[in-house]
Chains A and B, each alone.
Chain A
Amino acid sequence: MVKQQYITLYQQYAHIIKEKSAPLLNSIRDAAFKRFEELGFPVKRDKDYEYIDIQSSYDHDFGLNLNRVSLDVDPYKVFTCDVPNIQSYLCFIVNDTFYANPEPKISLPKGVIVASLNEICTTHPDLVKPYLFKNMDWENDPNQAFNATFAQDGLFIYVPKNVVVDVPIQLVNLMHGNDDLLAVNHNLIIVEEGASVKLLVCDHASNEKKYLANRLTEIFVGKNASYEHYKIENTHNQTMNLGTVLVHQDDDSRFLSNTLTLHNGITRNNITVHVDGQNAEAIVGGLAIGDKTQKIDNYVSMNHLKPNSTSLQLFKYILDDQAKGVFTGKIIIKEDAQKIAAFQTCKTICLTNTATINTKPQLEIFADDVKCSHGATVGQLDETALFYLRSRGIPINEAKLLLMYAFVHDVLEHISVDAVKDRIRLLVEKRLRGELSKCNGCVICK
């Protein structure tokens, strides 16, 4: 049984995992393991996982770097995935290990920390302690229990009160190895009151090995703070990417996430937002372009705990061949959370009749003075628009491309960094043209 494999693994190697991790990271490890033992992996009979098989992805002989063996190469020298024309503060997580940037091109404002979570747990435990694991629900969520059992490192970002970081921080998650690998990591991002930061996450794989990544990110957005999270996945058909983003928002805060899946194998993105403050805004957007047998499952849980806030979920899918898309959008409004405006839209274009999409809006509203809506459409390209473009001399393939590009443009409009937006537009265009089998401009991918 798949589960047993990992139970045995932990029982055998728990001492090594703990020895190589900061005490703070070990603080819930055994308890989380116990829960994992009971819960196992999510299976298809779980309502939240009914369209995707997570468990069988683990059923493969993956290597884990429990001993924290470091790479024989410096990722900053070997891999230049500095997305062209983007000024960013670059850092790497290779497999599951954070590699601090030895010579950053950009200097960060005073007090801002970008570091290894494992290190920070040792050097600044008091800074981490009030936040670490606080957004998690590892007692009930099997993925999170698994993550807390095995995670040994990750990215840590701290932006102190009233500090604005203009230049985006860029995290490249790179899967790299001579063997098939499983990476488990835990990121923690703290944006204090009045502070602001943007993170651009790029998921890559350096070769055609089989990879499985279980990455969890806890984000705390303080009062009147702003945090933007852009995730671009550009891996390959042999990867399974399981990403969990857990957000906590205070009064007057702003959270924006945009999850762009351009190339992948199997991807599941869990985004859970707790809007635990008034006058806060949460925007969760996403775009998925799939072909062959790619599977993209986006799961959003938007929880409004306090009154007077707004949220938007906006997802677009373009699916070709036998690609499969899933969207689950929850909106949960607590009893006293009045005057909430929460909206949700999921639109899909299926280019073939073998591509499939399952969309599932789930609204649980316990307050009586709220404005909520959800909508989903599935269709093909608009024939009238297609004819209009062709009647101006634009060939059918080019016209289709223009329409697909137009279909996704409003998701891209939510990207606030112009350079990132331009770059992503280009990547999307290339992807739609079928030119993008790998990230362009990326030495690792050539």
Chain B
Amino acid sequence: MLVIKDLHANVNGKEILSGINLTVNSGEIHAIMGPNGSGKSTLSAVLAGNPVFEVTKGEVYFQGKNLLEMAPEDRAREGVFLSFQYPVEIPGVSMVNFMRTAINEHRKYNNLEPISASDFLKLMREKKEIVELDTKLTNRSVNEGFSGGEKKRNEIFQMAMLNPKLSILDETDSGLDIDALRIVANGVNQLKNSDNASIVITHYQRLLEYIVPDFVHILYKGRIVKTAGKELALILEEKGYDWIKQEIEE
């Protein structure tokens, strides 16, 4: 589904990603872990097409198409979804209007008619339940006045609405209490099937107790330096990142 080859990326002239190689297949969950500043969020932003980052080298193919050539909105409509680490508040844009516009743009892209009002409301209702999102929130402006946890739940709600093929969860667990974490993880698990895939970026092993990865990658200084099964997360939890750093420096 996703093939990343030797990906390099800069921000403000400074190289953050220095040759990432990663392949993600349908039905897989990949966890990406790593110390602060290792490039985890940059990787997710580059995949989603954030114009702040400049790709200097490498290739990314998504379902056989060159992802790097696509505008962010086209990546989204091809099925890439980024759950933001810091979801943006947009006062004045209502959640309903936002979601309806997004859904209809996806439909237009696939040559479908706009969704009917009743179908849309039904869909909203159905998907809200997945992350137990309060109706009060969906009646507000996008993320405006949402708590940290509510913002993250709202990300997963949007993911449920848009039904992506590849979802990238950028530190979705940060700032969540244990209940919210469970709700968010349950949501992700419910949306999981054999046709889609997820990349879960996290600092901590905690989230991976709920969302069980098939692979765990360690990102360090802009490169994936270690890949293993879910047991790697446990080792990291116990030992921290120092042993990895040592291993690499040796």
Contact = CB atoms under 8 A, between A and B. Distances in A.
A391 B76 contact: yes
Nearest to A395: B73
Tell which of A390, A391, A396, A405 has the most Cβ of chain B within 10 Å.
A391
A139 interface: no
A387 interface: yes
A417 interface: no
Nearest to B84: A388
B49 A391 contact: yes
Contacts of A382: 88
Contacts of B93: 389, 402-403, 405-406
A388 B73 contact: no
In the A-B complex, the 8 residue pairs with the smallest Cβ-Cβ separation, listed nearest first, are A406-B92, A409-B92, A393-B76, A390-B72, A388-B88, A392-B102, A393-B77, A406-B93
20 contacts: A387-B52, A389-B90, A389-B98, A391-B49, A391-B72, A392-B158, A392-B162, A393-B105, A393-B162, A396-B71, A396-B73, A398-B101, A398-B105, A402-B93, A402-B97, A405-B92, A405-B93, A406-B91, A406-B141, A410-B91
A391 B98 contact: no
B46 to A, nearest CB: 12
Greatest chain B CB density within 10 A among A389, A393, A396 is at: A393
A388 B77 CA distance: 14
A407 interface: yes
Contacts of B158: 392
B49 to A, nearest CB: 7
B188 interface: no
Interface in A170-216: none
Contacts of A385: 88, 90
A394 interface: yes
Interface of A: 382-385, 387-396, 398-399, 402-403, 405-410
A388 B143 CA distance: 11
B51 interface: yes
A350 to B, nearest CB: 18
Interface residues on B, range: 20 to 34
B88 A384 contact: yes
Given A389-B90, A391-B82, A402 B101 contact: yes
B106 interface: yes
A410 B71 CA distance: 31
Interface of B: 48-52, 71-73, 75-77, 81-82, 84, 87-88, 90-93, 97-98, 101-102, 105-106, 109, 141-142, 158, 162
Contacts of A387: 49-52, 72
A252 B10 CA distance: 60
Contact of A394 (B52, B73, B91, B92): B73
Contacts of B52: 383, 387
Contacts of A394: 73, 101-102, 105
Given A393-B109, A396-B73, A388 B92 contact: no
A399 B102 CA distance: 10
Contacts of A398: 101, 105
Nearest to A384: B88
Contacts of B92: 405-410
A395 B49 CA distance: 13
A391 B97 CA distance: 16
A393 B91 contact: no
Contacts of A399: 73
A403 B82 contact: no
Nearest to A388: B88
A390 B71 contact: yes
A189 B102 CA distance: 47
Most central of A387, A396, A410 by chain B CB within 10 Å: A387
A382 B98 CA distance: 16
A146 to B, nearest CB: 40
A408 B92 CA distance: 8
Contact of A393 (B73, B88, B97): B73
A389 B71 CA distance: 12
B5 to A, nearest CB: 23
Given A398-B101, A398-B105, A390 B90 contact: no
Contacts of B101: 394, 398, 402
B34 to A, nearest CB: 22
Interface centre among B49, B76, B81, B106 (most CB of A within 10 A): B76
Nearest to A413: B92
Contacts of A403: 90, 93
A406 B91 CA distance: 6
B49 A392 contact: no
A392 B71 contact: no
Nearest to B99: A392
B31 to A, nearest CB: 21
A403 B71 CA distance: 18
Contact of A388 (B90, B91, B106): B90
B76 A392 contact: yes
Contacts of A391: 48-50, 72-73, 75-76, 81-82, 84
Contacts of A393: 73, 76-77, 102, 105-106, 109, 162
Contacts of B50: 387, 391
Most buried by B among A402, A408, A410: A402
B90 A406 contact: yes
A403 B82 CA distance: 20
B92 to A, nearest CB: 3
